[in-house]
Amino acid sequence: MRGPRHYRPPLARISVRLLLLNLLLVFLPVAGSLYLQTYERQLLVGQERGMVQQGRVLAAALGERGELAPEETQAALARLRRRVDARLRVVDRRGDVIGDTSAAGPRAAEESVGSPPSPARSDPLYRVGAALYRLRQRLAGARPDAAAYDWRPPPAWPEPAVRAALAGRYGALTRATGDGRSQTLHSAIPVRSGGAVVGAVLVSQSTWRILGALDQVRLGILRVFLASVAAAAVLTLLFATTIARPLERLRDEADALVDRRGRLRGRFRGSRRRDEIGDLARALEQLTRQIEGHLGSVEAFAADLSHELKNPLAAVRGAAELLAEVETPEERARFVAVVQREVARMERLLSGVREIGWIDARLDSEPTGAVPLHELLPGLVESWRARAPRGVAIELALPPGPVEVRGAPERVTQVFENLLDNAVELSPPGGRVAVALAVAGGAGVATVMDEGPGVPPEHLPRVFDRFFTWRPGEPGARDGHSGLGLAIVKAIVEGYGGTVAIRNRPEGGAAVEVRLPLC
């Protein structure tokens, strides 16, 4: 029977949740790309500091010579030309250039025509990522990054920075290069000699190398991002195949488990998986087996009850029919006695059925505690000694220490009441019933032994079955028994996690052993 399918929000699906979890793999490269802006600023600050340091070293060296001479200055710069990354220029106190490390070299070209193309920008993957980034900025209404640059034509001479250096201060100026993307940093350091400013050192360097390195980092992050997305997709597919779909199969099996009348028409198929889903499938398979067994037991119980009630009902009906035909008071009294006896038998039968039904349904929810068997059994034995028929003796053997088991006192008492009743009834006149209590294997072990005829071997497996009773040599003895006494014993003992077993004694009679877990 297929149950109703309720609306399931998208986020309630396990596959969607697993996808969201796997997308966490993407957050690391995204966080790296967000950090790039801070990283770029740090690189620019580091580049400027390096430029200033180069300028200060050169200014200190030139200041030791007094007035700046063009020939000496150019010679000093020529020696530095291949040892520095920046372009170094020296101006005198009038602002005229008297030395340049690359008057016509590549560093001069950087300020006018811009930086060479970054290898990363020629990568097709980078172009796709850049296009998506520009599209996102347009949708967000943001200006392109290049708009933050100064788009005025780059000046031929960073006059403000030089003028500040000639005035004895540090001068700095940043201008966009010809490509509109990279920048040229200018740092001017005064040259002092004897406390007077005799000139300035101008250090210039483009940022295209930093931007090229950042482009490589961006390309690497983009590759990691795409790899993370692919890994998230693969993991989601894997999880959906190994988790979501097996759970859907279990749901379908559960829907088809019972028919419209609530009867079982199948069972869970189990699984060979070694994970939690496999454990769940096997547990459900075991559960359906237990349900099948319970339903079979209920059906058998109903059939046995029907059979047990059929005989007394037939006797009552027959006696009632004959009662209308007889004329003598003696015959009427005999048939009335038959009716009363069979009605009493049905009352005992239904009382036992009600009792065992209550035990099956509510024993687990009944409050339990520590039951001291070493105190409970002596009271029961004394009670049975007073009412035992035909001089049957009842003996009790207790261990030296206390024996406390887990259960409800009323139910444990009911167990031993039924066992003593059965043992006393089966014992011959002048016989002996022995009750022994011991502790073994973490359980309290109570054994009730009689000297009766014992139980035929073919009947031993059925002694604790419901409605089964056997009384030797007494054709009508079964009429006074419902066959539920030992079945109630078994239901109570197993409900408390214990076991009960019966065996024939070599010296004659039977012994019933009850094991209940200790507290």
- Digit-coded pLDDT (tens) for 239-290: 777 777 888 888 888 887 877 776 777 778 777 777 777 888 888 888 888 8
Whole-number pLDDT of residue 343: 86
Whole-number pLDDT of residue 103: 57
Give the residue from 200, 172, 168 showing the smallest Cα distance to 58: 200
Spatial contact of 323 and 335, defined as CB atoms under 8 Å apart: yes
All residue ranges of the chain with pLDDT < 50 are: 1-8, 11-12, 104-114, 144-155, 475-479
Q: Is 244 left (phi over 0), alpha (psi -120 to 50) or beta?
A: alpha
pTM of the model: 0.50
Q: 3-state DSSP call for residue 174? A: strand
Domains of the chain, start order: 16-223 (3.30.450.20), 258-362 (1.10.287), 367-517 (3.30.565.10)
CA distances from 183 to 22, 117, 132, 157, 241 (A): 40, 14, 24, 15, 53
Q: 3-state DSSP call for residue 15? A: helix
Spatial contact of 486 and 463, defined as CB atoms under 8 Å apart: yes
Whole-number pLDDT of residue 316: 85
Torsion of CA 103, 108, 109, 110, to 10 degrees: 170
Spatial contact of 66 and 193, defined as CB atoms under 8 Å apart: yes
Percent of the chain, pLDDT > 90? 20
